[in-house]
Structure 1
Amino acid sequence: MNDARRLACLRIVLVIVGLIALFGVFPLMLLWPSGWAWESGHVDRSEYALMIVGIYATLGVFLLIASRAPMRHLSLIWFTVWSSVVHGAIMAVQSFGGAGHLGHLAGDVPALFIVAAALAVFTPRGDKARRLSSSSRDARPE
C-alpha cells in the first residue's frame, strides 16, 4: 500500500474511532450493559460510567483532531494503540472473575483490540514514519 493511501486509511480510522469514542461509549453502556458496563444498576448514574465516558469522549476529540494531520500526532495514535491493548488485556482477564462479566469478551474487550489493530496497521513506523513526518504536508504547521 502506498504512503498516500495508508495515510488516507489512517485518517478514516481516526475519524471512526474518534466519533465512536466521543458519541458511542455511553449509548453502548446503556443498550448492552453486559458487554460494555462493568457495574450493574443505573449506568446513567454511575460514577465509574461517567468517568469512562469522560475519558473516552476526551480521547475521541483528540483523535478527531489527529485525523487532520496524523503524522503530527503519532504519539497520541501510538498511545491509543498500546493503551487499548493493555486495557483490553486487563479486562479480558477480569472478565473471568465472575459476577457475570463474560459478556465483555464479546463487547468492549474485542472492540479495544480491533481499535488497536486498525490504528497499528495504518500508522507508519520507523524509517517510514520519519520520512513521512519530514516530507508530508500534514507534518508542517498550519
Structure 2
Amino acid sequence: MKKNLISFILPCCFLFLFTQAVPAKETGTVVKELARTQHSWDGALLPPYPEGQPEIRILSITIPPGQKLAVHKHPVINAGVLLSGQLRVQTTDGQVLNLDAGEAIVEVVQTWHWGESIGKDPAHIIVFYAGEEDIPVTITQQP
C-alpha cells in the first residue's frame, strides 16, 4: 500500500511542477533526465521500498580535495548529482565509479564503499535518500 502511495505521489509532484500555465517551450525551460534506472551504479537491482513510514532526506555534502570518506553503507535507496569537483566511489570488492560535475549517481545499497574527492576542487554533491522513519541513511564500518 505505502509503495503504491509513494509511486503515485512522487510522479504527481513532478507533474505539478512541470505542468504550470506556461508551456516549457515558451519559457525556455529545459528538462534533462539525469538518471532513470532500477539498478545501482554497480549493476545490482534496487531493493523494494520499506513498509514503514516513508522519509525523504536531501543532503548537501562537500568533500575537500584529496579527502577520503570512511567506509560505509546505505540501508536505503539514494541518488545524487555531483554539482562540482570530481568524485571517485569504490566498493570494498574493487568496483570503481568516477564522477565529474553534472553527473548523476544511483548509489549502492547495503554494500560497503567509500567516496573520495579526486579533483583540485571540493566535490559537492546533493544526495536524495528514500528511506523510512527512524532508519539511518548511512552506517559507518567499525574498525
Give TM-score, length-normalised by structure 1.
Answer: 0.25
Give TM-score, length-normalised by structure 2.
Answer: 0.24
Name the one with the larger strand percent.
2
Name the one with the larger helix percent.
1
